[in-house]
Amino acid sequence: MTAIESVESFRSRARAWLAGNMPRLADAAPPSTEGDEDEQRWRRARELQKKLYAGGFAGICFPEEYGGLGLTPAHQQVFNEESDGYELPVVLNIPSFSICAATLLDMGSEEQKRERIGAAIRGEEVMCQLLSEPSGGSDLAGVITRAERDGDNWILNGAKCWSSSAYAADWGLCLARTNWDVPKHQGLTMFLVPTKAPGVKMNRVRMSDGSAEFCEEFFDDVVLPASAVVGEVDDGWSVASRQLFHERNSMGGGSPYISGGRYAPATRQMTPLDIARATDRAGDPRVREMIGRFLAMEKVSEQTVGRVSRAMATGALPPTAASILRLLHAESNEMAADIAVKIAGSGAATGAGADQGIGGQAGLRFLVRQGGSLGGGSTEMARNVISERVLGMPRELALDRDVPFKQVKRGR
Ligand SMILES: Cc1cc2nc3c(=O)[nH]c(=O)nc-3n(C[C@H](O)[C@H](O)[C@H](O)COP(=O)(O)OP(=O)(O)OC[C@H]3O[C@@H](n4cnc5c(N)ncnc54)[C@H](O)[C@@H]3O)c2cc1C
């Protein structure tokens, strides 16, 4: 076995390679006015990922046999530090790498790992999550999208919604019901679904901030081969649980599969401190107090992410503790959005959008502030998981827990 490169040697190589090969954010060309701006962003991300792969800096924590570098979270951390200020394909981080590829790595077949993870690392493919349904996302084990056997194949029918960036994806991890005669957690199967397969209809959903990242999908007799099953038939809940772990870990900032930061730079720059400086209010004692609260929260988040991630890695805390990170992320995100609007004042209300200066950006962000406490499972569900699965408090009453799913009463 060859010894792995030291973290400091990796840092020096990454620094030199980034300087010679990746574009600086400050020099990034504005999106062309021709064609769909979102599609350009995703095309650009794939190009940048191909560059990272060619340079030997893609898939840092994924195993070598699946196209990664097989290095440690410490190597990923120094790469993240060195890549600050460069244009990187950060839209690929969540959900493609840190949730979908990570779940396949833990639960997928050899073929799925080799083909899908490899293609994602090479910048050829993107993955998305097809979990939530129009009937509700919190009760994930209650999904009613169905897959029925047809010889060696499966036939998928149903609908999913709120799928982030599914329009840009090639594959989706889709949870479907395959057995209605057993209690709800026992009759589910996870499938890898090609998003462009015959019978898949996808619409993009426009949000109040103008973005159209969410999609809804309708499956109408979509034929899937047996090799589309991830994990075991009727054991999709194990796969979904692992996927939820990776999602909460990613949202909370603890995933080692995130390269170069979680967010696009425009979002990252929107700190209350930036807004105070830009609006010339950094000297106002009330504003300073709010910034102090924000900075304290940032410190607490940083330390908690480190502490909980380490504890989960050593087994001192169960994987469900990722909900602590997920909850903290939602709370700090909401706090930052609220403080930003308070500091920006009337500029946040009257600025019409990102092109209306920093006040308008604070206003836009406020419109979707609630997203952080819904994506990756709601804040209420995170609190339930922490109390029941981490602290060992009594479980919530569930009348449908041991009942065959076909007998469970559902809304019309
Ligand atoms: C930014 C973002 C990205 C997302 N990306 C994806 C994605 O890529 N793929 C995907 O499949 N989904 C995605 N979602 C959907 C997300 O998973 C759901 O919004 C979430 O699970 C909640 O489901 P729901 O919106 O249907 O609300 P519901 O399940 O209808 O819940 C409504 C409200 O009731 C509360 N509630 C429900 N049950 C309980 C309970 N037992 N105890 C206490 N309170 C409860 C909830 O907390 C919530 O406030 C995304 C959502 C957001 C905001």
Q: What tens digit of pLDDT does each residue of 393-406 get?
A: 999 988 888 899 99
pLDDT attached to residue 366: 87
Residue located nearest, by CA, to atom 3 of ligand 1: 375
Distance 378 CA to ligand 1 centre (A): 5
The per-residue pLDDT for 288 is: 96
How far is 289 from 83, CA to CA, in rounded Å? 32
Q: Where are the beta strands (DSSP E) in 229-385?
A: 229-230
Residue 253 C-alpha from the chain's centroid: 10
If pLDDT is split at 50, 70 and 90, which confidence band does 220 have? very high
Statement: residue 355 has pLDDT above 70 = no
Indicate which residue's Cα is closest to atom 28 of ligand 1: 136
Residue 140 Cα: closest atom of ligand 1: 21
Q: Are strands 188-194 and 200-205 parallel, antiparallel or unpaired?
A: unpaired
Domains of the chain, residue spans:
7-125, 129-235, 269-390
Segment 311-330, tens digit of pLDDT? 999 999 999 999 999 899 89
Residue-level pLDDT at 394: 96
**Sign of the C-alpha dihedral computed for residues 119, 120, 124 and 127 taken in this order:** positive
C-alpha 132 – ligand 1 centre gap (Å):
7
Residue closest via CA to ligand 1's atom 25 equals 137
CATH number of 7-125: 1.10.540.10
Residue nearest ligand 1's atom 38 by CA: 138
* Residue 4 in tokens: 């792995």
Q: State the distance from the centre of ligand 1 to the C-alpha of 136, rounded, in angstroms.
A: 7
Tokens of 6: 């030291």
* Closest atom of ligand 1 relative to the 378 alpha carbon: 47
Q: Which two tokens stand for residue 384?
A: 């339930």
Residue whose C-alpha is closest to residue 139's, from 398, 403, 404, 407: 398
Q: How many other CB atoms are found less than 10 A from the CB of residue 266?
A: 10
Residue of minimum CA distance from atom 51 in ligand 1: 375
Q: Which of the listed residues 100, 129, 132, 385 should we mutate to test ligand 1's pocket, taking the one with most ligand atoms within 8 A of CB?
A: 132
Q: Identify the pLDDT of residue 273.
A: 87
In terms of pLDDT, which residue wins out, 207 or 51? Answer: 51
Pocket test for ligand 1, best of 244, 378, 396, 401 (most atoms within 8 A of CB): 378
Sign of the alpha-carbon dihedral angle for 187, 199, 127, 64: positive
Cα 216 to ligand 1 centroid, rounded to whole Å: 14
> What is the DSSP pairing of strand 153-164 with strand 214-224?
antiparallel
Distance from Cα 141 to the centre of ligand 1, integer Å? 13
Q: How far is the CA of 290 from the centre of ligand 1 (A)?
A: 29
The band of 411, judged by pLDDT with boundaries at 50, 70 and 90, is confident
Count of C-beta atoms within a 10 Å radius of residue 340: 27
Give the residue carrying structure tokens 């790498």: 97
The share of the chain scoring above pLDDT 90, in percent, equals 73
| Fold classified for 129-235 | Butyryl-CoA Dehydrogenase, subunit A; domain 2 (2.40.110)
- Distance between alpha carbon 246 and the CA centroid of its chain, in Å? 8
For 272, the 3-state DSSP assignment is helix
The DSSP call for residue 404 is B
Task: Choose one of 99, 204, 369, 374 to mutate for the ligand 1 pocket test, by most ligand atoms within 8 angstroms of C-beta.
Answer: 374
Q: To the nearest 5 percent, what fractions of the chain are helix, strand and coil?
A: 50, 15, 35
Question: Does the pLDDT at position 189 exceed 80?
Answer: yes
Provide the pLDDT for residue 348.
Answer: 82
> 231: CA distance to ligand 1 center in Å?
24
pLDDT of residue 278: 84
- What pLDDT does 268 receive? 53
**Mean model confidence pLDDT for the chain:** 92
Q: Which atom of ligand 1 is nearest to the CA of 377?
A: 21
What is the distance in A from the centroid of ligand 1 to the CA of 381? 8
Longest dimension (CA), the chain: 71
Pocket, ligand 1, Cβ cutoff 6 A:
95, 128-132, 136-138, 162-164, 371, 374-375, 377-378, 380-381, 384, 396
**What's the gap in Å between 274 CA and the centre of ligand 1?**
31
Closest by alpha carbon to 343, among 252, 277, 395? 277
The reported pLDDT for the residue numbered 269 is 56
Would you state the structure tokens that stand for residue 247, as one six-digit string? 């999602």
Instruction: Give the integer Cα–Cα distance in Å for 359 and 375.
Output: 25
Overall CATH class of domain 269-390: mainly alpha
pLDDT confidence of residue 110? 98
Question: What separation in Å is there between the alpha carbon of 210 and the centre of ligand 1?
Answer: 21
Distance 131 CA to ligand 1 centre (A): 10
